[in-house]
Amino acid sequence: MENMGCSLPAASTLEENLNAVSNDTLHEIHCTELSLALHENLDDFEMMRADSTAVNSASAYPTDSGTLAKLLCRMCSRLEKLECLGLNPCTLSELANWKAEFGQLKYRIGTLTSSSAKQAEEAARKEGENVQITDNQADSEKKESAKQKLRRELYERLYALAEEILPELEEQISLAAAQIQSEQCSPKQQCLRERFIDEFKADIEATKQGVEQSRRRVCEGKKPSAAGKMPLSVSDLNSSFIVKGGWDKTFGYRPQLSFSASNLVTALLVPEGNAADQGQYISLVKATIQNTGVVPKIVSTDDGYTGAAQLSECLELGVEIVSFSGARGKALIGDEKWESEPYKEARRARNGAESGIGVLKAVEGFGQLSRCGVYSARGELLGKVISHNALKIVSLRKQRYEEEHRKEWNAGLPGGKQEVA
């Protein structure tokens, strides 16, 4: 619209309005794009190739100290603003001091480098302690290094301070909850108050779990307990550690994408957590069929999607060629089909999914989220898919136009037929 001379609002205004569009509406726009491409014969959607990728959440990479300090500081800040909800002000006078101490502990743990370790080592030498660790010592005989000792002591101070103030924070929120129950207010104010109480209680439980799990890992050298969940992010509670193949660990989401032969994105799934590809396979195929209205003849994926149940169910949906690349896929499909030309062609076409993801990340910024929460993440990624498909449709139209007029254009060139172009 800018190229056509139209005046537009500021970028922030456009973003706010785009973010207000519901995911259901975005899904309808996506399906309409695919219907347009099918109607214009830009793609027949008979080929489907799928792959997953990792995207970074709009949250800092989590650390135990950072998460706990942020949770505690957020609760203190919320108690300082009780008057904004029409509630009695907090009676605790130490809130500002607590926030300052949490921030200092977080900073010291996060910046624990060789300089601070040398200072701790020097102090340990004065006390006559041996902080060196030799490789030929047994694990049980190894002593803490100065850096490990200082780090553990800082964490223990953070745990102790958290356990000291949590009962007082719980008491304050109980008083606020009692006041809410006894007072009448407008429905909007009541909704804000109830949301405040629920989020505060959730922060308290997350802090307790975080202290318990972090103490097991840092002080006791044990793995986090499976009974409790360590809070990973203060801003995006749905983000998880994503481990995919031999790639580096990512903190965010693991979306699943399917591409057509012309690399239009036909389906997008954004599950919570580090969901395995195999478990998302049938859902992705069904989403592709639902979005396009076409049952693909060929479905090609990598070895991570391989499974006998997946193969059987995909064939029941009407797919003719179900291809899995890799050793497990070869064993499942059989040598005869594996060596046939249709399956070779399907495996060659699978690389289009990887190139499509590369284009999405390079052009649309698909690899980095700017909104928090799984619902918002789904909307943002779907918006980027819509943008990608729009550009792809324009490219396909241009390509077809050039093919239709190439003979006419070549006619006026030397050696061509003498026709008026």
80 in the same domain as 45 = no
Q: What pLDDT is stored for residue 63 in this prediction?
A: 86
Whether 118 and 158 map to the same domain: the answer is yes
Residues 192, 83 share a domain: yes
Tell me, what's the pLDDT at 158? Answer: 92
Specify the pLDDT at position 397: 95
Q: Which of 95, 301, 69 is nearest to 162 (CA)?
A: 69
**Range with lowest mean pLDDT among 18-27, 92-101, 358-367, 408-417:** 408-417
Q: Identify the band that residue 262 occupies on the pLDDT scale cut at 50, 70 and 90.
A: very high
**403 shares its domain with 386:** yes
The residue from 164, 185, 218 where one domain ends is 218
Instruction: Indicate if 251 and 393 belong to the same structural domain.
Output: yes
Instruction: Please tell me the predicted confidence (pLDDT) of residue 146.
Output: 74
Segment 295-312 mean pLDDT: 93
- pTM greater than 0.85 (yes/no): no
Q: Are residues 48 and 72 in the same domain?
A: no
Number of domains in the chain: 2
Mean pLDDT in residue range 90-106: 90
* Residue 47 belongs to some domain of the structure: yes
Burial of 155 (C-beta count, 10 Å sphere; 0-12/13-18/19+): buried
Range of the domain at 185: 64-130+143-218
Q: Is 227 or 44 the better-scoring residue by pLDDT? A: 44
pLDDT of residue 34: 96
Segment 54-74 shows an average pLDDT of: 90
Which pLDDT band, with edges at 50, 70 and 90, does 418 fall under? low
Let me know whether 337 and 265 are in one domain. Answer: yes
pLDDT of residue 280 exceeding 70, the answer is yes
pLDDT of residue 132: 45
Query: How does the average pLDDT of the chain come out, rounded?
Result: 87
> 337 and 290, same structural domain?
yes
Q: What is the pLDDT of residue 301?
A: 93
Q: What is the arithmetic mean of pLDDT over 291-317? A: 93
More confidently predicted of 408 and 214: 214
pLDDT of residue 390: 96
Instruction: In whole angstroms, give the CA distance from residue 262 to residue 280.
Output: 23
- In the chain, the percentage of residues whose pLDDT exceeds 70 is 88
Whether residue 251 is found in the same domain as residue 320: yes
Q: Are residues 70 and 209 in the same domain?
A: yes
Same domain, residue pair 30 and 75 = no
* φ, ψ (nearest 5 deg) of residue 251: -105, 110
The pLDDT of 26-45, averaged and rounded, is: 96
Lowest mean pLDDT among 59-68, 289-298, 335-344: 59-68
In-domain check, residue 236? no
For the cut 80, the answer to whether the pLDDT of residue 414 exceeds it is no
- According to the model, what pLDDT value does residue 217 have? 85
HSE (CB half, 13 Å, CA atoms) of 233? 19
Average pLDDT rounded to a whole number, residues 332-343: 91
What's the pLDDT score for residue 120? 57
Residues of the chain with pLDDT > 90, as a percent, come to: 57
pLDDT score at 141 = 39
- In tens, the pLDDT along 385-400 reads 999 999 999 999 999 9
pLDDT at 138 over 50: no
- Contact (CB, 8 A) for 292 and 34: yes
In terms of domains, do 190 and 282 share one?
no
What pLDDT score was predicted for residue 151?
84
